[in-house]
Amino acid sequence: MIVRRFLSPSVIVGVLLVAIVAVAGGFITSPLSIDTTVWSDFIASRTPAMNTFMTGASWLFDPKRAVIVALAVAAFVWWLVKKVMHALYILGSVAFSGINGYIIKHIDSRPRPEEAYRLITEDGYSFPSGHATAVTALIVSLVLVLTMTRLGRRLRYLLWAAALVFIVFICVTRLYLGVHWVTDVIGGFGVGLGSSMILAPFMIGPNALKLFR
């Protein structure tokens, strides 16, 4: 049974996603044209009010605070569905994706955009984005758990659409603040999604990939 779960489509696709991000990061050592173009556009569009809004929105999903947010979400899920393993899956996805992202960051060692144009102080490497990784793992694992309920199953398309919008929004905050390139947040999305898919068969069922449909 355990071997079958290791060989399930969810695990295979998840491993491939994380591996692709890790390998791609090793090749993308300098910003691509799309990185510099989008970065310049965001810098040119800044306003004082938007600066404050984007800083606040980004603050909540800092990787260090993402665990606290995940604990709160997991507690809600535990109360809602009364299944400990489903709550632990959400926590595990955020933690596992964070570990994967940390390893890739230090293997690829990609520098962040120029410090003079950042609206907030950030240290560490740029690729993949820790915010994008954390929010993707959290939201994807949450929606997967919710779509296992009767109501969630009926609303699954709405839930996935809302999840995608929210993930994109958090990614945009990182670009707007000037602390990441586009390829950083794409990489973070891949690590967060892949990590959640790897854990899903072991924690919420062997047919977890079907919940994406």
**Tens digit of each residue's pLDDT (9 = 90 or more) over 99-154:** 999 999 999 888 888 888 888 888 888 899 999 999 999 999 999 988 887 877 78
Determine the pLDDT at residue 4: 67
The CA distance from 169 to 58, in Å, is 9
DSSP 106-130: HHH-PPPSPGGG-SS---S--SS-H
pLDDT at 63: 74
pLDDT for residue 12: 85
Rounded CA separation 171/97 (Å): 16
Residue 212 reports pLDDT greater than 80: no
pLDDT at 168 over 60: yes
Would the pLDDT of 179 be above 60? yes
Q: Looking up tokens 């690829």, which residue turns up? A: 108
Which pLDDT belongs to residue 125?
A: 87
Average pLDDT over the chain reads 87
CB-based contact 145:77 (threshold 8 Å): yes
124: left (phi over 0), alpha (psi -120 to 50) or beta: left
- DSSP state, residue 177: T
Question: Quick one: pLDDT band at residue 201, thresholds 50, 70, 90?
Answer: confident
pTM: 0.89
| Domains annotated on the chain, with CATH | 2-212 (1.20.144)
Say whether pLDDT at 9 is over 70: yes
Task: Quote the pLDDT of residue 119.
Answer: 83
Q: How confident is the model at residue 82 (pLDDT cuts 50, 70, 90)?
A: confident
